[in-house]
A and B are shown apart, each in its own frame.
Chain A
Amino acid sequence: MTFWTDPINWVLQILENLLASWGLNHVLSIFIINFLTVVIYCTMILVFVFFLIWLERKLIARMQDRLGPNRVGPWGILQSIPDAIKIFTKEYITPVGVDKVIYNLAPIIVVASVLVVWAIIPVAPRWFAADLNVGVLYIIAVGELGILMVMMAGWSSNNKFALLGAFRTSAQLVSYEIPMALAMLVPVFMARSMSLNTIITNQSVWNIVLAPVAFIIYFLCSLAEVGRAPFDLLEAESEIVAGYHIEYSGLKFGMFFVGDFLHAFTISVLGAVLFLGGWRGPGAEQYPLLGFVYMTVKIILVYMLMMVVRGTLPRLRIDQMMDFTWKVMTPLMMGLLVGMIIIDSLIVGLSPWLRTGAFLAFNVIGAVITLWALGKHTMPKPQEFPLEDLNAS
């Protein structure tokens, strides 16, 4: 075992030997090492948010033909540090009549609910914190903790705008969770396992090739889950001021933003793991650092897509949005699942190429039929707009 073939376990081995040389009990030393690993891991992820905030500000600025942060450090890359120092010295304003316990708990759990997802994300071969055999189920369970905390923040603030934001959350996030859970079922079904490591190693053909529709639905739902444009109704500035976090100030407010950026990033990491093959690539199995590079490229791909969508699309109306999840995505995903199950049980023993082709063809047909039906039923008919009346007035 050398650094190049197994970097994490190599470091852990050194630490373990060090602790053993100090005469510590073996169980105790493993306990200490695990604890330290988790502390360092979580801190690194939180520090990484500084970079994410800069990246998002810079990219959105370029898309909107602005400069973005460009003063502190090269290309403004250190901009988040003065911002953090500023927000650390801001006063906490606790409005009258808030529910103190829930009000203070919400910003903490919003960040924590994203951090605990990182416990099971495999970053490279043999490079993960824990490999749970119920991985995907764990992600869904923990993800819903974040939704709950957004609702609690809105409810406990004793403010009608915050309450409205919380109500919208309860309708929006919760509805988009269903097609998302159905879409995440596809990789589980392909790998016959809920462990993220097995899902990656079984993707000799990436799941995005086998089920592109499932990936698109996962991507759209994840946009709604993190409350990004065009699904940012729960914090629509022009309608309900800021939504659920209107009464928060100082670092408590900052924590909501840290949670938001981290959630967006984590969701794109999961997209890369579940649908783009994670760390898979030539030579990744021998050299985990190479796998790390592949993984980073894939994550950036999904994350950039998220940025482009955010930077270009306007906000949707809430009834359109609810219709989209309940009347389009959920039935489509159910039909897709049934079709894929039938195809999978019919083509046992066929060559992998034919199998891939069958899945791909079915997905494309499903997408075409959906788009055709959507165009037929939702496009306004020409006679609905009497142009003569408009011209007369």
Chain B
Amino acid sequence: MGRSGRQRMVIPFILPAFILYTVFFVYPAVQAFWVSLHDWSGFGQNMVYIGLGNYREMLKDTIFWAAFRRTLYISVVGGIGIFGLALFFAQILQRNLFGKRFFRSLIFFPMVVPGIGLGLIWQFIYNNDWGLLSGFLKLVGLKSLNLFWLAPDHIIQSLTVAIIWSYVGYYMTILLAGIDKIPVTYFEAAVLDGASEWKMFFTITLPMIWDVFVVALVLWIIGSLKIFDLIVATTFPAPPTSTYTLSIFIWVQAVGAYTPVYRLGYATALGVVLLLMVVISVGFVRLVTRREAIEY
């Protein structure tokens, strides 16, 4: 069979997936863009075409820019915290330690709790009167370090800590799966050569799990830009404006929190921007992390 014949053969196999992808992803995305060009409450058919009006409004919207900055803060600071800790724990838990499986499960545990449950746990931890954190600080005589954790000045930092705690186990597990596949002889040889732990990490572990690391990073970027449930649950019933991330701002504009805003057209435009952010961020990460694959 010639090249053109093979191509013809491929088409029927690709077509079902292509149609499904088109119908369930491309088409809604195009439709979302179409909706974003309208002033629309979301109720009824009264859609008023305003062209790029929603996008122009976004450029001048101070709440949007504040939400954008918070989203980036969570993505960057949370990412550094998560991958720093995930690599640290993965490095420790790859060894033959007593209780290794238990600790792996323990660190992974927050991932099996729904975001709403995690939010309630962190509401409890951050309560200033009877919360775990304040109680601990008072107990060890560090009352002066006790802050109003969920006050506007600290809330995003507090929530970022909660997010790191919640996700570190998930990314640790992904990285561990990569580390576990590295032949142990590499480490043995490095030890014989007198390599330090740091040296082994940077010259063996990290390069050899690089593809896994990049996939985990991409997953985090996608997840962090859309983060919603943990913040909403921690600040239930109405997230204060000081916690608005892009996804929360979209929700508030689409359906209102306490005030019935109902701007589905504008919210959809925000959603389109969020989608673009995800695509651009992932593309950027793929670009800067591109390296030659190591095979072993």
A binds B: no
